Structures are given as structure tokens and as C-alpha cells.
Copies of this chain bind each other. A is one copy, B any other.
Amino acid sequence: MAYFGDPVLAADLLFRPDHSVIDQSLNSRLGATTTNGDGFGLGWYGDGPEPAVYKSTQPAWSDPNLRELAYQVRTPLLFAHVRASTGTAVQRSNCHPFRHGRWMFMHNGLIRDFRTLKRDLVMAVEPELYPHIEGTTDSEVLFFLALTFGLDDDPFDAMARAVGLVEDVARAHGVENAVQMTAATSNGSCVWGFRYSTEGASRSLYYSHDVGQLRKLHPDVAVLKGLGEETRLIVSEPLLNLPGAWVGVPEASAGVVRPGTDEIRSFVPVPPG
């Protein structure tokens, strides 16, 4: 889940039980997902240009420190992620979101047969970036490939090249359907979202419709009242009990949420050279 908009108390998004539909849904959704929960993480922009990250391998629901934190953190840009491991170790350094400098990145999905491809992929990471890889996941390698291919300059292009490289390496190893991905990344100013899979059957990704319209549809929903027009939520699953709230991101698309006009475009991997 990515939140971008007016500064909000993290607890209002994650826990606040008295606040009505959105947060309750988020909460239950969080609960649902954590039934496979191999760690979770929060990342947010607060003091300083770099995001802060709070990550733990303890289930989110039983971590009292997360609750304490959530009632103190007020931020305009929050990532929350619950991990279901696809094979790599359950350790903090494998929890999302990953961070490098101003950038945060989180990913649902996998690089298929990662153990086979890992060495070639890691070798493609810019040597100066390489020592900053902290964990052992496919997701973090995808992030570092994107950093290698210019995430800082053009996130759409960098992700297209990163995915293109993974698919190319996979082909060389005879691995099919290499990439399954919904992902989000941010530099603190904008949030980019991606929905793509090699086989064209990607996991779902939704973003929230404009808040003004939602307020009219649901005048009784408390949490909507405080939020400005540009507030956006990006989530993996539609929160069904707020009709009109969610727009599905099409297959093989990427979008950016930012002050001013958002944008959505198709996502086409760029194979190497």
C-alpha cells in the first residue's frame, strides 16, 4: 500500500478502529495478507531527504512497537508492505520497502527461478551499487537493477530496462514467465507504480479515485474529510466496501502520482542493447 497526499498519521491508515471504512478495510486487508506474513515494513518521508524505514520479521499484528510508531509518525508519503516470502530467508534485510538514498521500492511478485538467475542479475548491477545490496531477495535485485539503469533520471525507462534485462537473462537460462510484478517506488516527490508480468497475467493493482468525488459518494466516511484533493492510495486489492473508490491499473501499465496531473502509460520492457 502506498499513500501520497496530505500528511496523515500512520495509525489512521493502519490501525485506527473508530475511523470507518477505508482504514478498517486496510486493516483487515493487512490482516488477511499477513496470514502468510514473513515480515512487514513501513517506509515514509519525514525529517530529512531520505525516507525512514521500520521493518521487522515479527508479524505486524503482534509488534507493539509498530503500534507505538504508527501513532507518532505523520507523513505525506507512506509505503506499507507485508511480505510473503517466495523462498528467501525471513530476515529484516529481506523486508520491503528497500531504500537507497532518497529512493524507496517495494514489490509484490517474483522473479521466477531466481536462484538460477541470481548470479547473472547481480553481476549486472553497477559495481558501485553492488555492496549496498543488503538482503538476498529477487525484489531487492530488481530495485538495484532499476537504480543501475537510471531510476534517478527516468523511473519508467529504468524499470523497463531492469525488467527487460531479467527477461533476457531468463531466456538465456531457459526460464519462462520470468517476471511477475506489481511494484511501487518513490523519491519523496512522486510515486511510480508498475503492473506487469511476462505472461501477461499480472496481479492486480488499484489506485484511489479523486477524494472530492469519494467524499460526495460517502459523506459519512470520517477519514475522507481531512484529505486534500490530490491524496492517492495505491493498493494491491480493491477495498470493496467503498464503491467508486478504486480504479484498476491495466495489464502492462505504469503510472506516476504527483502534484498536478497524474499519468498512466503502457509498460514495455526494454531488452539489453
A52 with B64: in contact, given A89-B93, A92-B89 (CB under 8 Å)? no
CB of A174 closer than 8 Å to a CB of B:
no
A263 within 8 A of B: no
Binds B, one of A67-75, A192-200, A252-260: A67-75
Q: Which of B46, B89, B92, B116 contacts A72 (CB 8 A)?
A: B46
| A77 nearest CB across to chain B (Å) | 13
- Find A131's partner among B37, B38, B58, B119 (CB 8 Å cutoff): B119
Instruction: Give the shortest distance, in Å, between A83 (CB) and chain B (any CB).
Output: 10
A92/B74 in contact, CB under 8 A: no
Chain B residues lying within 8 Å of A127, measured Cβ to Cβ, are: 119
* Interface members, chain A 3-57 (any B CB < 8 Å): 9, 35, 37-38, 46-48, 52-57
B38 near A52 with CB under 8 A, answer: no
Q: A134: CB under 8 A from chain B?
A: yes
**Distance from A39 Cβ to chain B, minimum over Cβ atoms (Å):** 8
Q: Which residues of B contact A47 (CB under 8 A)?
A: 9, 71-72, 74
Q: Which residue of B lies closest to A37 (CB)?
A: B59
Give the 6 A-B residue pairs with the shortest CB-CB distance, closest first.
A62-B90, A115-B131, A35-B35, A91-B91, A52-B68, A46-B72
Q: Which residues of A contact B (CB under 8 A)?
A: 9, 35, 37-38, 46-48, 52-59, 62, 64-65, 68-69, 71-74, 85, 89-93, 115-116, 118-119, 122-123, 127, 130-131, 133-136
Known: A52-B71, A115-B131. 10 other contacts (CB 8 A): A38-B62, A54-B69, A55-B64, A56-B65, A57-B58, A58-B58, A89-B134, A93-B136, A116-B131, A119-B127
